[in-house]
Amino acid sequence: MAEPKKERIHILRVKGTDDDKAIYAKLRKRKFTAAEWQKFTEIEPGIPFEQVLTELEAIQHKEAQKRKRG
């Protein structure tokens, strides 16, 4: 069986001094394929909000205890 082709990653090079107009001009020159754009529309699994909230509440409680002692 033939191995699948490896995806090429195209990098848009911009300078730190480039403003928005210059960046968009470079983007217009560069042709992106539908497959390249598809990568940015896929939803990746994330951390459930409840877990994040629980961790933040634990941090807040811990910091409040430190302030009470000190």
Residue range 3-23, pLDDT digits in tens = 666 667 777 788 888 888 888
What is the per-residue burial (b if ≥16 Cβ within 10 Å, else e) of 12-37?
eeeeeeeeeeeeeeeeeeeeeeeeee
Proportion of the chain above pLDDT 70, given as a percent: 89
The type of residue at 10 is H
Percent of the chain topping pLDDT 90: 26
